[in-house]
Amino acid sequence: MLVEWESKEGIYKYVSDPDLEDLHPHRELGVDDFVWHLFEKLEDLRPVLK
């Protein structure tokens, strides 16, 4: 899954939003194994996606 956020602050705000607290376990437990990668811009992903 690829998610694009407008800023780093946007993802941190989402992750710490108390109104969404009950959804975070579903997001975190929805997959058995995952790795988080943070890229500054989509162009940084191009070598990884080839």
Whether pLDDT at 47 is above 70? yes
pLDDT (tens digit per residue) in 9-46: 888 898 889 998 888 777 677 766 667 777 777 777 77
Whether pLDDT at 1 is above 70? no
**pLDDT of the residue at 45:** 78
**pLDDT of the residue at 34:** 67
Domain-wise residue ranges, the chain: 8-49
- DSSP secondary structure, 1-50, as one string: -----S-HHHHHHHHT-GGGTTTHHHHHHSSSS------SSGGGGHHHH-
Q: Is 8 or 33 the better-scoring residue by pLDDT?
A: 8
Q: Between the CA of residue 19 and those of 3, 13, 28, what are the distances in Å?
A: 20, 11, 16
